Chains A and B, each alone.
Chain A
Amino acid sequence: LPIRFDWRDKHVVTKVRNQQMCGGCWAFSVVGGIESAYAIKGESLEDLSVQQVIDCSYNNFGCSGGSTVNALNWLNKTHVRLVKDSEYSFKAQTGLCHYFSGSHAGVSIKDYSSYDFSDKEDEMAKALLAYGPLAVIVDAVSWQDYLGGIIQHHCSSGEANHAVLITGFDKTGNTPYWIVRNSWGTSWGVDGYAFVKMGANICGIADSVSAVFV
């Protein structure tokens, strides 16, 4: 493994978005993973529609909450093509699902993989390198007040409540950390990102980890 790696350096990570008052973090996390996987494959990097997933993933609850694994399961079963964000823009509330014709351009997934990597964060780092950014669920209660630095206390595992996207890791300093993209806008954290200590399942970051294949 390299001692530092970040998919942002490869220009395959879209910008930080803002979920506003919508509890759709699960959709932002999954769509972020698909956008990156598509770009890693050599296609163009573009914002895909989070609103489409919020409105149409029937096994979730839109802006009232959801699960990344349920969303991936839905995407995998239905082979729904995610359209561009500009064609189905974010409204910060759950709406009626818009359907597009079969010929409409979009990105569908081929498969996904979801595992518990607790006690195996080195394997998780390998998965990040091999497959692309990882959609994970964390306990983000203490993230309400986060300004920057490496989160290493006040975060339990087993009480996951927020979905985010891991884009990289950094082991160059005394405290190795995951680089985590959030969906609370760029004014939160470090330009919208947080850093979470590696190797101790801080915030339960390794408990529910998903990679997507397009």
Chain B
Amino acid sequence: ANGSHSGHVPPQRSEKGSAAFRESLRRHRYLNSFSSSDNSSAVYGINQFSHLFPEEFKAIYLRSKSSELPLCNKEVKMPTAHMP
């Protein structure tokens, strides 16, 4: 607020973080609007990723690729050894 660069977050970054945070709040409202009345539905809100835009989040954390796999069309045999 006083124009100084105190703290370790540059003003530009902070502004971007605030914009991402505001977008997160809007997103939480939308996601939570689908909650059912049985209280078991997922709840969405502020966490350690709220300062990231979805594109940033995806670029950092969602980097796994899937492979085309054969459909499992046989019954899984339950072994007797090591069975819980």
User: Does A pair with B?
Assistant: yes
Kindly state whether residue A133 has any CB partner on chain B within 8 Å: no
- What is the bound-complex CA distance between A23 and B83, given in angstroms? 34
Report B-chain residues with C-beta under 8 Å of the C-beta of A24.
63
A160-B60 contact in complex given A116-B72, A174-B38, C-beta closer than 8 Å: no
A25-B61 contact in complex given A129-B78, A146-B44, C-beta closer than 8 Å: yes
Report B-chain residues with C-beta under 8 Å of the C-beta of A104.
none
Contact across chains for A147 and B65 when beta carbons are under 8 A apart: no
Partner of B64, one of A7, A129, A149, A161: A161
B-side binding surface: helix, strand, loop or mixed? loop
Most chain A beta carbons < 10 A, residue from B40, B52, B64: B64
Contact across chains for A148 and B66 when beta carbons are under 8 A apart: no
- What is the bound-complex CA distance between A148 and B66, given in angstroms? 25
Contact across chains for B40 and A175 when beta carbons are under 8 A apart: yes
Contact across chains for B72 and A117 when beta carbons are under 8 A apart: yes
Chain A: how many interface residues by the 8 Å CB criterion? 64
Report A-chain residues with C-beta under 8 Å of the C-beta of B71.
115-116, 118
Contact across chains for A144 and B43 when beta carbons are under 8 A apart: no
- What is the bound-complex CA distance between A148 and B31, given in angstroms? 13
Kindly state whether residue B70 has any CB partner on chain A within 8 Å: yes
Partner of A115, one of B41, B62, B70: B70
Chain B: how many interface residues by the 8 Å CB criterion? 42
- What is the bound-complex CA distance between A7 and B83, given in angstroms? 11
**B23-75: which residues lie under 8 A (CB-CB) from chain A?**
24, 27-28, 31, 34-35, 38-45, 47-50, 52, 54, 57-58, 60-67, 69-72, 75
Report A-chain residues with C-beta under 8 Å of the C-beta of B76.
123, 126-127, 130
A67-B42 contact in complex given A41-B82, A126-B76, A130-B76, C-beta closer than 8 Å: no
Using A144-B57, A162-B61 as known contacts, list a sample of 18 further A-B pairs with CB atoms less than 8 Å apart, ordered by residue number in A: A19-B61, A24-B63, A65-B64, A67-B66, A67-B67, A69-B69, A130-B83, A137-B66, A144-B52, A144-B61, A145-B24, A145-B27, A145-B50, A146-B42, A146-B47, A184-B61, A195-B42, A208-B66
Q: Top 10 A-B pairs ranked by shortest CB distance?
A: A23-B63, A65-B63, A161-B62, A115-B72, A160-B66, A145-B44, A149-B42, A126-B76, A69-B67, A163-B64
Interface residues of B (CB under 8 A from A): 24, 27-28, 31, 34-35, 38-45, 47-50, 52, 54, 57-58, 60-67, 69-72, 75-79, 82-84
